[in-house]
Structure 1
Amino acid sequence: MRFHTRKWVKPEDLNANGTLFGGKVLAWIDEEAALYSIIQLENRRVVTKYMSEINFMSTAIEGDVIEIGIDVFKFGKSSLNLNCEVRNKMTQETIVTVDNIIMVNLDEHGKPKPHGKTKIEFVKDRLAKKEKDN
């Protein structure tokens, strides 16, 4: 799993118990899944269709640095299936896991659109290919 994003847990991210609010971390996960999918599918029109069971395993407190990892485990016709792990950067302790997030590629009318992707692509490789082709 690749960990792309780090977040610093600030006072506004906490619940009444003084720990990381679950809704805040879910918003971060959803945003990360969308950004990852947009980059993979090379399309800004990507939406979250489904999120499986969310497993809160530990928590974070103010001042902790967390990181969000996303991985593709299946390429559908117009979708990507992702899994996610959020962990404490310093201790590597898992905070949250989501086994399946389905992101759907859309056309300009908001309808599912085939993306034609079958494997993970890295932006650096796309840029190198464009340079080579030119």
Structure 2
Amino acid sequence: MKFHTRKWVKPEDLNPNRTLFGGKLLAWIDEEAALYSIIQLENSHVVTKFMSEINFMSSAVQGDIVEIGLEVVKFGNTSLILKCEVRNKMTHEKILTVDKITMVNLDENGKPKAHGKTNVEYVSDRLANKSKI
């Protein structure tokens, strides 16, 4: 799993127990999944369709640095299924896991659209291939 984003837990991210608010963490995950999918599918019209069970394993407190990791589980015809792990950057303790996040590729009218992708592509490889043309 590749960890793409780091977030610093600040006072405004805390719940009344002074730990990271779960809703804030889920918003960060949703945004990261969208950005990852947009880059993979080369389309800015991507939405979250489904998140499987969310397993909170530990908490984070103010000052912690958490990192969000994503990995492709499957390429569908119009979708991309990801799994997610969030961990403490310094201790690598797992904070949360999500087994499946389904992201759907849309056309300009908001309808599911086939993306034609079958494997993970890296931007650096795309750029290298374009420079060979």
**Which interval holds the TM-score relative to the shorter structure?**
over 0.9
CA distance in 1, matches of 2:70, 2:87: 12
Superposition deviation, residue 59 in structure 1: 0.4
TM-score (structure 1 length as normaliser) = 0.99
- The aligned runs of 1:34-45 (5 Å cut-off) are 34-45=34-45
> Hey, what does 1:47 align to over in structure 2?
47
> RMSD value over aligned CA atoms?
0.3
User: C-alpha distance in 2, partners of 1:3/1:132?
Assistant: 29
Q: CA deviation at 1:121?
A: 0.1
SS of the counterpart of 1:80?
strand
Please give the per-residue CA displacement for 1:56-114, whole angstroms capped at 9, x wherever unaligned: 00000000000000000100000000000000000000001000000000000000000
- For 2:60 and 2:50, the matched residues in 1 are separated by 25
Q: Which amino acid aligns with 1:44?
A: S
Specify the alignment match of 1:96 in structure 2: 96
Percent identical: 75
> What number of residue pairs does the alignment pair up?
133
Q: Which amino acid aligns with 2:63?
A: G
Structure 1: gaps spanning 5 or more residues: none
Superposed CA deviations along residues 26-57 of structure 1, whole A, max 9, x for unmatched, are 00000000000000000000000000000000
| 1: CA distance, partners of 2:132 / 2:9 | 42
Structure 2 partner of 1:129:
129
Q: How does 1:1-134 map to 2 (within 5 A)?
A: 1-133=1-133
Q: Which runs of 5+ in 2 are unaligned?
A: none
- C-alpha separation in 1, matches of 2:45 and 2:83: 20
Residue aligned with 1:69, SS: strand
